[in-house]
Copies of this chain bind each other. A is one copy, B any other.
């Protein structure tokens, strides 16, 4: 397919533009752990099945999104935490996604979908097309089933100006079980990155040079991230594992490269450290807002300083 999208914006451009304007690469993960939602927002026992739980979660997340406005470029809802609440959770995910987009955020849906051809098409239609019920700006997907199973997402992303982030080296302790296995001289995750290289290259925007096909590389594996950056110089990296999972700011921005306004090329995700700071566990709205704002400021400063030290 030709890389011409005369009437469609590239997700790669939208992402990098927003980050340049905002001035930091922080992505906030919306992982509503029900037992951690502060007393201020809790209603009833907060069990997933209780209809009040989705409403309480809605008010928590919308208040949080309000506090994030103008401070970060992109949010990343974690689909599992919504699915757990059944159809009310799905309804909430639709609402939160559209609310955040209305406020100018990009929404990267973390659903890690992966299935064969016609089913992958149905997932693409769930998240990436113009009339998708949970219309997101980008989606995380798994490469395990093969390159043919990534095509439907890429096709949908091309037509609709959205993006795709493929799992390559994940942040969890056991990610090495299969991703690090040696295939000849290289690890499986490097092999995957090699196979993705032409797909990512073919989806680069002529304006900023950044691709709309990104990859996921845990902040917890910075050396592996550096290898991947060599293989994929124009591919946006989604970097989870910063903060609560133990990755430091220095490691989180290790794969960033020099751009016109400073180092760029990735988004660094933090979920629990922003959503559930210790002091946010309160009944008091002012205390809660201060705790969240402090947590955002801390992460933004932490990443901005780490980027400044690269210069």
- Which residues of A line the B interface, CB within 8 A? 31, 33, 47-49, 78, 80-81, 83-91, 94, 112-120, 122-123, 125-126, 131-134, 142-149, 167, 170-179, 181-184, 188, 191-192, 195
Contact = CB atoms under 8 A, between A and B. Distances in A.
Given A87-B87, A112-B114, A142-B142, A181 B172 contact: no
B188 A126 contact: no
A131 to B, nearest CB: 5
B49 A143 contact: no
Contacts of A183: 181-183, 188
A10 to B, nearest CB: 25
A148 B134 CA distance: 29
B122 A148 contact: no
A84 to B, nearest CB: 5
B84 A122 contact: yes
Given A84-B122, A131-B49, A170 B182 contact: no
A131 B33 contact: no
Given A144-B179, A177-B146, A119 B191 contact: no
A78 B170 contact: no
A144 to B, nearest CB: 4
B86 A133 contact: yes
A125 B47 CA distance: 11
Contact of A188 (B86, B149, B176, B188): B188
Copies of this chain in the oligomer: 2
B117 A178 contact: no
A197 to B, nearest CB: 14
Contacts of A78: 115, 119, 122
Contacts of A191: 178, 181
A209 to B, nearest CB: 27
A46 to B, nearest CB: 13
Nearest to A95: B87
12 contacts: A49-B133, A80-B126, A81-B119, A86-B91, A86-B126, A89-B90, A142-B142, A143-B178, A145-B167, A145-B179, A178-B191, A181-B183
Contacts of A173: 146, 148
A188 B146 CA distance: 13
Contacts of A112: 113-115, 142
3 A-B pairs closest in CB distance: A86-B133, A146-B174, A148-B174
Most-contacted residue by chain B among A47, A114, A172, A181 (CB, 10 A) = A172
A93 B180 CA distance: 37
Contacts of A174: 145-149
Nearest to A119: B80
Contacts of A80: 113, 115, 119-120, 122-123, 126
Given A84-B133, A131-B49, A172 B122 contact: no
A79 B83 CA distance: 11
A309 to B, nearest CB: 29
